[in-house]
């Protein structure tokens, strides 16, 4: 095409990336830069989720885990915590249920201790999980999630079911089981840390950090992250043929 705009071509990740984790950071700063309340940043962040899931699906990536609320996020002012809970509820009802699950593409599961969430949110989580059996794509929403907490819970569950503790047994009881460990973990917002996200699963993940704030993380940004991954060599602690 000589004239006009062309959508960036989608690199096919199928076979190279099957699972992606995303730390959606930078909503507060996005809002502050615009003189808006922090919650407006979270709303703008939620509005990005569908677009990002769609691009990942078009690329052939079947498993996505989104960090929506951590076990540490309760330390924020009550007004912000309540606002995020309302926003997540509204987003689950209006977008996740109506578009992301109902269009037949994604099953949605919740990773984290949802038992302490507001009752109407818990009920919505239960209903959404029940809608999405046997889908080709799966999205885990990490809500009241902590990686250390998840490992402790997995060990307890393995012991309760009489299993010998092994890597396989711990993996089997994670929230994200039986999905594969993330090939790629993306963190927006400029910080370069894991913040208690998928600690067990990220043992051999590749990391992609960007200064882009989550509400600005659009289709082109997803493509850049995936292209960065596709340019890397993974060795999983061993050697590749060409290194020998
Ligand atoms: C981190 O930005 C973002 C959060 C704690 C909330 C993220 C939640 C959403 C985007 C809603 C998504 C909903 C679903 C159901 C997937 P921050 O506040 O730490 O930003 P800052 O570092 O700029 O302060």
C-alpha count within 13 angstroms, C-beta hemisphere, residue 143? 24
Q: Which of 81, 204, 92 is nearest to 139 (CA)?
A: 92
**Residue 157 belongs to what domain range?**
11-229
Higher-pLDDT residue of 243, 79: 79
- Write down the residue that tokens 């037949």 correspond to: 104
In a domain, 81, yes or no: yes
In a domain, 240, yes or no: no
In a domain, 6, yes or no: no
Q: Which residues line ligand 1 (CB under 6 A)?
A: 24-29, 42, 45-46, 49, 66, 68-69, 73, 84, 88, 91-92, 96, 141, 189
Residue among 20, 22, 23, 25 whose CB has most ligand 1 atoms within 8 A, to mutate: 25
Closest-lying ligand 1 atom to the alpha carbon of residue 95: 15
Q: Give how many domains the chain has, as a whole number.
A: 1
In a domain, 181, yes or no: yes
Ligand 1: distance of its center to the CA of 26 in Å? 7
Q: What pLDDT is stored for residue 7 in this prediction? A: 63
Q: What pLDDT is stored for residue 5 in this prediction? A: 58
In a domain, 5, yes or no: no
Q: How many CB atoms lie within 10 A of CB 118?
A: 13
In a domain, 90, yes or no: yes
When pLDDT is cut at 50, 70 and 90, the band that residue 217 belongs to is very high
Ligand 1: distance of its center to the CA of 88 in Å? 10
Helices (H), the chain: 27-33, 38-58, 78-91, 119-131, 147-160, 167-172, 219-230
CATH number at residue 91: 3.40.1180.10
In this predicted model, what pLDDT tens digit does every residue of 86-127 receive, in sequence order?
999 999 999 999 988 887 689 999 999 999 999 999 999 999
What DSSP assignment string belongs to 183-231?
SEEEE-SS----TTSSTTTTTT-EEEE-SS-GGG--HHHHHHHHHHHHT
Respond yes or no: is residue 144 known to be catalytic.
no
Three-state DSSP state, 67: strand
Nearest CA to ligand 1 atom 11: 46
* Whether the predicted pLDDT of 240 surpasses 90: no
In this predicted model, what pLDDT tens digit does every residue of 219-229 receive, in sequence order?
999 999 999 99
Mean pLDDT of the chain: 93
CA separation for the pair 175, 48 (Å, rounded) = 24
Token pair listed for 220: 């082109």
Ligand 1: distance of its center to the CA of 43 in Å? 9
In a domain, 244, yes or no: no
Three-state DSSP state, 108: strand
Radius of gyration of the chain (CA): 18
In a domain, 80, yes or no: yes
When pLDDT is cut at 50, 70 and 90, the band that residue 1 belongs to is very low
Nearest CA to ligand 1 atom 22: 26
Ligand 1: distance of its center to the CA of 152 in Å? 25
Respond yes or no: is residue 196 known to be catalytic.
no
Token pair listed for 140: 């885990």
């Amino acid at each position: 095409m000589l004239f006009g705009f062309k959508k960036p071509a989608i690199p096919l990740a199928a076979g190279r990336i099957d699972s992606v984790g995303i730390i959606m950071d930078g909503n507060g700063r996005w809002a502050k830069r615009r003189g808006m309340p922090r919650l407006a940043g979270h709303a703008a962040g939620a509005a990005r989720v569908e677009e990002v899931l769609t691009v990942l699906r078009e690329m052939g990536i079947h498993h996505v885990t989104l960090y929506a609320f951590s076990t540490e996020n309760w330390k924020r002012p009550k007004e912000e915590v309540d606002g995020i809970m309302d926003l997540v509820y509204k987003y689950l009802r209006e977008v996740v249920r109506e578009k992301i699950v109902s269009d037949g593409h994604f099953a949605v599961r919740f990773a984290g201790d949802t038992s302490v969430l507001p009752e109407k949110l818990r009920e919505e989580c239960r209903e959404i999980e029940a809608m999405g059996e046997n889908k080709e794509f799966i999205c885990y929403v990490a809500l009241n999630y902590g990686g250390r907490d998840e490992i402790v819970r997995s060990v307890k569950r393995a012991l309760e079911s009489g299993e010998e503790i092994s890597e396989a047994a711990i993996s089997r009881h994670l929230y994200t089981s039986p999905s594969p460990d993330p090939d790629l973990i993306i963190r927006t917002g400029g910080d370069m840390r894991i913040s208690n996200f998928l600690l067990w699963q990220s043992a051999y993940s590749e990391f992609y950090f960007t200064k882009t704030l989550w509400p600005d993380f659009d289709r082109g940004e997803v493509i850049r992250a995936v292209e960065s991954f596709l340019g890397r060599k993974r060795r999983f602690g061993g050697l590749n043929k060409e290194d020998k």
